[in-house]
Amino acid sequence: MATSPLDLAPVLPVVVLHDASDAVPLARALVAGGLPAIEVTLRTPVALDAIRAIAGEVPDAVVGAGTVIAPQQVKESVAAGARFLVSPGWTDVLLQAMRESGVPFLPGVSTASEVVALLERGVTEMKFFPAEAAGGTAYLASLAGPLPQARFCPTGGIGAANAPEYLALPNVGCVGGTWMLPADALAARDWDRVERLAREASELSRLRLRPQV
């Protein structure tokens, strides 16, 4: 199977696009800034077109689909060129569809029971969502002891200030966020600013900080 999005960069940009024509220049800016893995969320009508454009025109990008909540979305996303899938939660039906897609996937969890259920099903890589609301670094640090085989991409409420605390945890492979995609920069199509913010995000320290308890 292809490389997991957990292992491509410390930050996974979470992109919401309203104009498909922005997809390629945005992706190029993120890649140039050192963030090759890009999650395009299926929250807008142009999402699949955006994934298709990035997959076809930005060869150094590893584009994935986020907010995947139905088997049909799995099929449509992979057909459009998505190379990984991310969901905010999971069911057995959705999990089966993602497993059968042939691409890496990160099903969403927010409780220890959900993590254990996925481990029972052979899944060890997950999205932790909504990260801050669900307990943040303290919660993830607590999971590392009894469930060390689980690895996470926490997303939700994470920015430049607290991302290093998450990345310092042994069970965190990367974090998801939008802070390198400020609304005013996207509105102005200021791709140079996006590239600069992406570069800062790609260089976030992974020094082992003392986990919160």
Q: What is the pLDDT of residues 74-87, one digit of tens each?
A: 999 999 999 999 99
The model's pTM is 0.94
Taking phi over 0 as left and psi of -120 to 50 as alpha, with beta for the rest, 5 belongs to alpha
Taking phi over 0 as left and psi of -120 to 50 as alpha, with beta for the rest, 170 belongs to alpha
Tokens found for residue 147:
């469930």
Q: What are phi and psi of 82, to 5 degrees?
A: -65, 135
pLDDT of residue 207: 44
- State the catalytic residues: 39, 127
What residues contact 4, with CB distance under 8 A and at least 6 apart? 84, 104, 125, 173
Closest by CA to 156, choosing from 134, 187, 138, is: 134
- Residue of higher predicted confidence among 194 and 205: 194
Q: 163-201: per-residue pLDDT in tens?
A: 999 999 999 999 999 999 999 999 999 999 999 999 999
pLDDT of residue 213: 36
- Mean pLDDT estimate for the chain: 95
pLDDT of residue 205: 59
